[in-house]
Amino acid sequence: MALILMAGVAGHASGESSGHAEQYHPDAELGELFTQVQTTKVLGDYKTFVDAIPNSSPEAILQKYHQQKDTADFDLKQFVLANFTLPEKAQAATVSHESELKTHLDNHWGNLVRDPQKTSNYSSLVALPHPYVVPGGRFREMFYWDSYFTIVGLLESDEDALARGMIDNFAYMIDEFGFVPNGNRSYFLSRSQPPLFAASLLAYADKHGMDSVVSYLPQLEAEYGYWMDGNEEIPNQATQGRHLIVLENGDYLNRYAGAKEEPRAEAYGKELRWASALPEAQRGDYHRHLRAVCESGWDFSSRWFKDGVNKSTTHAMDIIPVDLTSLLFQLEHTLGLLFEHAGNTEKSKHYFAVAERRKSLLHKYHFDEKTGTYQDYDFKLKQHTGRLSMAMAYPLYVGAATDTAAKRVSDYLAQHFLMPGGFVSTLVETGEQWDYPNGWAPLQYIGVKGLLNYQQSDVAHEAMSRWLALNEKVYKAEGKMMEKYNVVDTTLKAGGGEYPTQDGFGWTNGVDLAFYRLLGKPQASAK
């Protein structure tokens, strides 16, 4: 059965691209020097070195390193500083003195815009054809799922040309790599992020009509091929592909997946350290699980931990995530809509049919009657993971929930997830950034839009009001926007995770602008 869905899917199904042959990969090209820098952490943030640009060819620098490394006065940090141009330090977000947060948000986009780059031959940055908005802080590139929520905000601010350019950048990357990478860096080219290209097209079409996005059909169908990467040569294999999983009774759904059995270049030292606590035979799979978590965007969270507490038990590749099932339903349904608009009845019927199939499986495998929630599914144990999270709102966001299920989810969110500052990510405190007590803008948006889709407006409006009140409070005190917020104790800053809290911040700005409109609050014009 898994082969039926693959009919008519265009594009690159493998998703294993490592990018252009000429793209600079610091982990592959700098050998021992890369390992030494990233395990000794001489530059502080692991991301600094992989974003640095060699001042000459990697081969020449590596040769120089081997000649000098054993000399008495060799200093690794000084060697790096002499042979690489480091990225500019993350600038603290511009502190605004505008009294109204709404005005600040509309006027702040320019601080986060990056122009198309002509990159050095030895830069890990993948050049894009159009300007784009970066998240902020240490993030100097265009991230996939961040960009959807940013596009929502740009459209609210009437920055439509910039929003269109970011959509064009998505299409460009799909043409180049067969999928939208995690971000436009060489070290992101082995994984994607939550597939929100379809959602971006729908957001743009809401304002400009379906005619404005129908030209992206080839790229949207190619992205679908990346996620439906079935291995047609081995029909009886339990896992038909990297992302495509065949379940009992011939059902098939999808997972996030890592392609490489090694630490991520941008987190090399710490992931090597984490893996060292495991038996050597388990380390390769562990690194794939970690990469799968990063593809999910929820890096890191108790959602992915077998014991619900410890990162050492990460098993993300064993999980069918409810948010991915929902977003692939949205992708299939959007393909149906666009092919219908283009007059291709055969393909339109095909994609509407597979979307309906997935909607049925969403309820079958993800809905838990006992709690009235949508949950992730462990396909190895053949049961729900039991890790409740804001991902339960995704079926409502894409319109795939039943009315009864949507009401039960709404009640559960109102009772358990709605905190003084908005929706909390999970109910478990692990110290990870995608867990309690943190709230994130994208999950507020998914939750609110999902609730509004099913006329649960009281909970939605209360969530928006609490989130905006918290954001306004922090803005008044700090003069800037943050990546994430402590929604449980609104007097404290959010914490946890792989790096210090970042400010800026693209998706927070975008979601807040959408909430101001949904609540009927006036906004200043960006023009």
- SS3 state of residue 45: coil
Tokens coding 326: 């929902």
Angle between helices 31-40 and 58-68 (to 10 degrees): 70
Check residue 289 and give its pLDDT.
98
Q: Is 160 a catalytic residue?
A: no
Q: Answer yes or no: is pLDDT of 12 > 50.
A: no
- Cα 316 from Cα 86, distance rounded (Å): 33
Q: Answer yes or no: is pLDDT of 9 > 70.
A: no
Q: Answer yes or no: is pLDDT of 319 > 90.
A: yes
Strand partners, 132: 114
Residue of 221, 318, 483, 512 with catalytic role = 483
Question: Are 288 and 261 contacting, i.e. CB atoms less than 8 angstroms apart?
Answer: yes
Calculate the CA 67 to chain-centre distance: 42
Supply the DSSP string of 57-108, one letter for each residue: -HHHHHHHHHHHTTSTT--HHHHHHHHEEPPPPPPPPPPP--S-HHHHHHHH
- CA angle 398–404–405, rounded 5-degree value: 50
Q: Answer yes or no: is pLDDT of 53 > 90.
A: yes
Helix (H) or strand (E) holding 137: none
Q: Answer yes or no: is pLDDT of 8 > 60.
A: no
Distances (CA, A) of 497 to 16, 245, 436, 446, 483: 27, 29, 12, 22, 12
Supply the DSSP string of 464-484, one letter for each residue: HHHHHHHHHHHHHHHSSEESE
94 pLDDT tier (thresholds 50, 70, 90): low
Check residue 242 and give its pLDDT.
93
Give the E-state strand segments of 99-212 in sequence order.
Answer: 113-114, 132-133
81 pLDDT tier (thresholds 50, 70, 90): very high
For the chain, the domains span 26-85, 403-526
Q: What is the mean pLDDT of residues 155-159?
A: 97
- Cα 326 from Cα 355, distance rounded (Å): 10
Distances (CA, A) of 392 to 146, 370, 447: 19, 14, 9
Average model confidence (pLDDT) across the chain: 92
- Residue type present at position 269: G
- CA angle 472–477–478, rounded 5-degree value: 95
As a whole number of Å, the end-to-end CA separation of the chain is 53
Distances (CA, A) of 282 to 30, 241, 243, 318: 26, 21, 20, 14
pLDDT in tens, 462-508: 999 999 999 999 999 988 899 999 999 999 988 776 657 777 899 99
CA neighbor of 109 nearest in space, from 381, 521, 508: 508
Helix (H) or strand (E) holding 383: strand 383-384
Q: Answer yes or no: is pLDDT of 28 > 80.
A: yes
Q: Is 376 a catalytic residue?
A: no
Question: Are 149 and 445 contacting, i.e. CB atoms less than 8 angstroms apart?
Answer: yes
In percent, the amount of the chain with pLDDT more than 90 equals: 82
Q: Which of 98-102, 137-141, 464-468, 506-510 has the lowest mean pLDDT?
A: 98-102
Sign, CA dihedral 379-366-284-259, equals: positive
Q: Tell me which residue has tokens 């608009």.
A: 341
pLDDT in tens, 341-393: 999 999 999 999 999 999 999 999 999 999 999 999 999 999 999 999 999 99
Burial 454-474 (b: 16+ CB within 10 A, else e): bebeebbbebbebbbebbeeb
Calculate the CA 65 to chain-centre distance: 36
- Residue type present at position 420: P
Q: Beta strands 438-440 and 484-486: pairing type?
A: antiparallel
229 pLDDT tier (thresholds 50, 70, 90): confident
Rounded to the nearest 10°, the torsion over CA 391, 396, 398, 399 is: 160
- CA angle 337–450–248, rounded 5-degree value: 70
pLDDT in tens, 412-428: 999 999 999 999 999 99
Residue of 299, 318, 332, 435 with catalytic role = 299
Q: Is 81 left (phi over 0), alpha (psi -120 to 50) or beta?
A: alpha
pLDDT in tens, 247-300: 988 899 999 999 999 999 999 999 999 999 999 999 999 999 999 999 999 999
- Cα 27 from Cα 514, distance rounded (Å): 40
Check residue 97 and give its pLDDT.
59
Supply the DSSP string of 195-259, one letter for each residue: --HHHHHHHHHHHH-GGGTGGGHHHHHHHHHHHT-B-TT-TT-SS-BSSEEE-GGG-EEE-----
- Cα 52 from Cα 33, distance rounded (Å): 13
- Cα 227 from Cα 374, distance rounded (Å): 21
Helix (H) or strand (E) holding 440: strand 438-440
Rounded to the nearest 10°, the torsion over CA 402, 252, 384, 496 is: -100
Q: What is the mean pLDDT of residues 103-118?
A: 88
Tokens coding 146: 């961040």
Q: What is the mean pLDDT of residues 452-460?
A: 99
Supply the DSSP string of 502-527, one letter for each residue: PEE-HHHHHHHHHHHHHTT-------
- Cα 142 from Cα 133, distance rounded (Å): 6
Check residue 113 and give its pLDDT.
94
Question: Are 360 and 228 contacting, i.e. CB atoms less than 8 angstroms apart?
Answer: no
